Amino acid sequence: MTATVANGNTGKSKLWRPPIVGTITFVMMLFAIALGHMTMVLIEHELGPSNTYIASIFLGAAGIVLLWYGIKSKSENLQTWIGFLSGLMLWMTWVEFFYMFYGRANWGMVPRMDGPEGLDVSGTYPEYMIMGATIGMLMIHLCFYTFDKDTRCNMFLWFQRWLGLKEALGPSTKTAKDRNYAIITFMETIYVSWFCYAWNLLCFDPGIVGTGALFFGVNMGTVFVSFVWGGYCFARLIKFKRTSTALRYAIPVGNIIWVSIEVASKWNLFTEIWVNPWEYTIEMATVLGAFLFLALLLILAPKKPSEVGGWKE
């Protein structure tokens, strides 16, 4: 089976020019994060904790099968979409639900409590306390990408230049044609989610930042960094013409901006409708509809020849 190139070209289309592609992928990514939260809540709500733990095993396995399907494709566009979706599936199931099982059911951990009488749940549930303990492992993995001469991540390339590693590492051994974007996008989705979760958990941890002036300062600093870093990346994103590249770049941009949204919700500045979807059915249905509409626009958007191809035999 062969995938055909859409009529037109992203460089010539009057609609699909900067900043349209980047803006659509960014907004869609924010919707995707909200829907990811909603999906997890609905699965646990509808199946119950015990069945959720069992279902997460098979849902994660389905994500691996989906990833296998994407890796076999020669279409960069399809590889990117499948890598993103399978990464979300594995993060929700084999990471968050597995941590939930070990923390709540297997080890019998209780949430961290605070408040005047010490009876209020602070929001740090067992699965997030476990995740906070994985920050060291996250840093070890990030070291690998920093010292990987074949990386094409702008952040790691900047680290390599700043650390004077370019000459020591030598030239990359891979070209664009050698790169499989399904596994690249899959790992990007996993690690960006992990990094941003760890970031939030650190700035919310009363055992590290307390509950007074330091807590306030760290949270405000987090919002500042989120907006500056995310804003800089967004300014780069809106210059993109290729939908596949824009989608991959929107993954970290959306998650970096979402860090400030988590801080705002922690300070009760708005209601997280995605964690109570049964109370905000119309609102979340609108978010879902908007996400599907934007995703459809990106799928139907004209592609450059380098983004599409046939299937490997």
Query: Per-block average pLDDT, block size 10, for the chain (313 residues)?
Result: 40 72 96 97 94 97 97 93 97 97 93 60 81 94 90 87 89 77 96 96 88 92 96 96 94 97 91 93 97 94 77 39
Dihedral sign, CA of 107, 111, 112, 116?
A: negative
- CA dist., res. 293 & res. 274, Å (int): 19
User: Given the DSSP bridges, would you call strands 113-114 and 120-121 parallel, antiparallel or unpaired?
Assistant: antiparallel
First-to-last alpha carbon distance for the chain, in angstroms, is: 9
DSSP-assigned states of every residue in 66-99 = HHHHHHHB--HHHHHHHHHHHHHHHIIIIIIIHH
Amino acid found at 44 = E
What pLDDT, in 10s, does the model give residues 27-63? 999 999 999 999 999 999 999 999 999 999 999 999 9
Q: What is the pTM assigned to this prediction?
A: 0.89
> Which pLDDT does position 120 carry in this prediction?
56
> Which pLDDT does position 180 carry in this prediction?
92
- CA dist., res. 272 & res. 295, Å (int): 23
Give residues with Cβ within 8 angstroms of 170, minimum separation 6.
Answer: 149
In contact, 233 and 249? CB cutoff 8 Å: yes
The tokens describing 271, both together, are 């209601």
| Structural domain spans, the chain | 28-112+124-133+185-303, 134-170
